[in-house]
Amino acid sequence: MEKLHETATERRRLTRNSIYRYLYDAPGGRSKQEIAEDLAMSLPTVHQNLTELLRAELVRPDGMSASTGGRRALRLTVAENARFAVGVSVSGDHFRMLAANLRLEEIAYRKSSHPRTAGLEELGRYLVADLEAFLTDFGLNRDKLLGVGVALPAILNAEGTRILAAPTMHLQNADLQPLTDAIPYPTLFRNDATSGGYAEWFARKETDSMAYLSLEGGVGGAVLMNGAPYTGQNGRSGEFGHICVQPGGLRCQCGKQGCLEAYCSSARISSDLGITVEQFFAGLEEGNAAYVTLWQEYLQHLAQGLCIIRMTLDCNIVLGGYLAQYLSPYLPELRRLTAALDPFDEDAGYVHLCHYPKHAASLGVALNFINRFLEQL
């Protein structure tokens, strides 16, 4: 009898989840009648489950349906602010902290600096202090917090419990338990570029597989297969920044020569020149000859990397990271250069700009908790 009870309980949960996910994916809300018809459920079943969801404040009214001759029906939709998750993108000297609701909409954001630390215990103290201040200052209800995701510029083990390598953090083979212990909420850790790619996949749900190329102070990436990050045998899948595009070329931070990162990181057009990225693009628009030449070289090397990714994975490629917000005017030229190297496609229409030019890593790592909630409700 106990097993039968558990089965019935699970069946009710699955029914409730089906109704909730239907409303989650339905733009503009739906009436009880529409839910019953579209999900092939009885009206009493739909009514009972909606009553439970309304009582839990997980769904809310969303206006009235158009009249079809009778009384107009109440539309319902998910209460997107019923829960939230926090995503933290960590670098060597700052945190980008973001709260996202159930639709992955940003409801609070703060960038804060922290001293460079000697280890993860010290980093954990800075992080939790900033996190608690963030929650308090923005008036975020901790009872509604699903968890805190932390995106790191690091290669992690498959379980997300250990840093295998993090050159910019000067860490190698480091246990993440000190950070877990410091944060008094459910916590998980992911690679930052993988997290950015995960957020982009969420924004493009019709895409089953894609590659994500992040252009920031470093060049990283992610591979999404059937909506899930593919991390590879050693957690290094998507390390596109270390594709060799110029044998014997510029020295990369990894110690090798000719890596894509050495030619296409933001440093190439900013700190290497003693200017900011904004100043570079302002000079580029004004026709600065040196900047124009450097930018053509940048696009050519980027096209080489994109063609290699396309030949290897044969999927759409999304360009993200800090530099993506500047690329729109140059996308046609980048596609032309990529297509010129591609023996199969004529227009490189598979190269796209990101949906989230800012905060993608923070959003993506928070998305893990949101999806977990949606699946387990």
| 290 and 181 co-located in one domain | no
| 266 and 319 co-located in one domain | yes
Predicted TM-score (pTM) of this structure:
0.89
Question: What SS3 class is residue 73?
Answer: coil
Q: Is the pLDDT of residue 8 over 80?
A: no
Mean pLDDT of the chain: 92
Domain at 280, CATH number: 3.30.420.40
Per-residue pLDDT band for 69 (boundaries 50, 70, 90) equals low
Are 108 and 171 in contact by the 8 Å Cβ rule? The answer is: no
Give the containing element (helix H, strand E) for 271: none
Q: Give how many domains the chain has, as a whole number.
A: 3
Instruction: Please give the pLDDT value at position 102.
Output: 97
Of the candidate ranges 1-5, 345-349, 363-367, 372-376, the one whose mean pLDDT is the lowest? 1-5
Instruction: Please give the pLDDT value at position 166.
Output: 87
| 183 and 211 co-located in one domain | no
The residue with greater pLDDT, 130 or 71, is 130
Which residue type, as a one-letter code, is found at position 28? G
Domain at 57, CATH number: 1.10.10.10
DSSP letters, 191-207, are EHHHHHHHHHHHHTTT-
313, 334, 310: which is closest to 323 by C-alpha? 334
| 313 and 366 co-located in one domain | no
Of the candidate ranges 24-28, 107-111, 138-142, the one whose mean pLDDT is the lowest? 24-28
Q: Which strands, in side-by-side order, build the sheet including 145-152?
A: 106-113, 94-101, 84-90, 145-152, 187-191
345 vs 337: CA distance, rounded Å? 12
Domain residues for the domain of 154 are 84-196+360-376
Residue whose structure tokens are 């140059």: 330
| 175 and 132 co-located in one domain | yes
Token pair listed for 121: 């215990």
| 220 and 305 co-located in one domain | yes
Instruction: Please give the pLDDT value at position 67.
Output: 59
The vertex-225 CA angle with 229 and 29, nearest 5°, equals 90
pLDDT tens digits for 306-336? 999 999 999 999 999 999 999 999 999 999 9
Instruction: Please give the pLDDT value at position 5.
Output: 54
Q: Is the pLDDT of residue 95 over 80?
A: yes
The 8-class DSSP code of residue 99 comes to: E
Instruction: Please give the pLDDT value at position 300.
Output: 98
Are 191 and 151 in contact by the 8 Å Cβ rule? The answer is: yes
299 vs 297: CA distance, rounded Å? 6
Backbone phi, then psi, for 117, in 5-degree steps?
A: -110, 165
| 23 and 139 co-located in one domain | no
The residues near 271 (Cβ < 8 Å, ≥ 6 apart) are none
Of the candidate ranges 69-73, 76-80, 239-243, the one whose mean pLDDT is the lowest? 69-73
Q: Do you know the residue count of the chain?
A: 377
Q: Is the pLDDT of residue 289 over 80?
A: yes
338 vs 302: CA distance, rounded Å? 8
Task: From residue 128, give the alpha-carbon distance in Å to each of 47, 107, 187.
Answer: 43, 19, 12
Backbone phi, then psi, for 360, in 5-degree steps?
A: -60, -40
Instruction: Please give the pLDDT value at position 21.
Output: 96
368, 357, 356, 372: which is closest to 105 by C-alpha? 356
Backbone phi, then psi, for 47, in 5-degree steps?
A: -60, -45
DSSP letters, 291-323, are HHHHHHHHHHHHHHHHHHHHHHH-SEEEEESGG
| 329 and 242 co-located in one domain | yes
Q: Where is the domain boundary, 44, 78, 112? A: 78
Per-residue pLDDT band for 233 (boundaries 50, 70, 90) equals confident
| 47 and 15 co-located in one domain | yes
Per-residue pLDDT band for 72 (boundaries 50, 70, 90) equals confident
| 143 and 273 co-located in one domain | no
Per-residue pLDDT band for 1 (boundaries 50, 70, 90) equals very low
Residue range 178-199: mean pLDDT, rounded: 95
